Structure 1
Amino acid sequence: MDTFNREGYVTTLLTTFFALDLAEKKRKELQATAELQAQVEIALELAQSPTTNQKLPEKPIEGEWLKHLSAMGVSLVEALTVKELYHIQGLSQPASPRQVDILKHFKMPGAVKMNKTVANYTIRRLFAEAENVEAWQQRPPTSRVMQGLLYINGSFTRGMTQHQAQRRLRKSGIESPSKYREWKRIEALFIGVNDLVTRQRNATRKITWKRFYHYYDELKSNGVASDEISVEMMLTRIAYHQRGELRSTHFGGDESALLAAV
């Protein structure tokens, strides 16, 4: 009768698991490499598009740029031009806010995590269809555009499209330039305090326009000029109300600025 070798069995089992783990890691590495190479092909295709920025030179890249590409895992059969490199660099850059807005509107999966170049390619394919262009142009106004019209004009006409609202906002800016400049500062502040990275760094939560104006108006009522209100001041007030903390590091020890902020 054979004797059960417990240690040998465990060793064999561990070796099998280890081999399977290595195989899975290798598979993922190969898959990642294949995906990257596929995205490189997309970048090169974009560079050949007639709508690509024609100001980018066609001369081949050299030196440090080749090292950067090698570090990214991009293997080249022939030299790249600067125009092609522009799109390859986009593979390591996040999609712009506008790109994300378009992708979200059309419910494209992975919109937030998509890189700049793939987002560009996806959007071009979307807008190759006339009905998608029409759908984008006829979309409802964003909250920022509506808030801009409300701030400058005190009213907002319901039923406008985003395109119509943007045109109305630009016209209002021409008619009331000082009011428009203040609105652009407000818009930048709102974007700044709600930025995901900024919120994670400061451990603050996203705020609504109503709450934003509450903090903004409080700062103004405390004597802070509108053109002096910064994202840091707003974050200090937000953090104070959300967590009950005074983030005095934002002001380098300037207690008067801190008191004005909270």
Structure 2
Amino acid sequence: MPASDAVFAGSIPDLYDRLMVPLIFERYAQDLARRAAAQRPAAVLEVAAGTGVVTRALDKVLGGARIVATDLNQPMLDFARLHHDHAGRIEWRQADALALPFEDRSFDIVLCQFGAMFFPDKQQGYREARRVLKPGGTYLFNVWDRIEHNDFADVVTSALAAQFPGDPPRFLARTPHGYHDAAQIERELRASGFTDVQCDWVEAVSKAASPLDVAIAYCQGTPLRNEIEARDPGGLEHATRKATEALTKKFGAGPIEGRIRACVIAAKA
């Protein structure tokens, strides 16, 4: 995975939170929060928290639980703290999921929404989650299915491949949608010390007011932007237009809907 795949900086946090979160992340955040709340945890750690969509959902359903939200990218945490943590109840900390700055056996649940795909060393990330969990605690996370089962991402990727045929931007297929083999994930979790691994496929519908909103979300609100600008420093708006045209051709002028599919994994420490 190129280093640029994990860079969420500049205007990306704002666009990510404003467009990507309602487009594909909100539904799964609520799902993870419900699953976590059912276990009545007293201390919860979130890794790869981004702009805090899961954190906010947790805060609504966990009552007096301690919630610690971490992310590798400080700009994402800064955005989350500034725009969403008005009560000041959340503990925000910059942290690498592969080297967590917490004592052993500190948390009842560790959550990670669509972050494991970005771990350079998946099993090291799992070992760290296992280390900070209390005995019997749960590691709860989700990963996207292959890109062919996630309509908007697939169309955007194909549109950009046509624009850059010699070196197509593959961020979406390579990283967010590149880690979806449930059997492989279970093997890696068990090798990292987890037991009772359960994988639950969850399908949903992604909705947007227009194809342009989707194109801006993916092309400008994710690290796909870094790939586009590396290939054509002045071509971001043109790439966004091409993605908009492809989405319009496939789904209409809007409002539009597309399939999204992810696997939710729960593993016991």
Fold match by TM threshold 0.5: no
More strand by share: 2
Query: Quick one: higher RCO (CA 8 Å, sep 6+), 1 or 2?
Result: 2
Instruction: Give the structure-2-normalised TM-score.
Output: 0.24
Larger Rg: 1
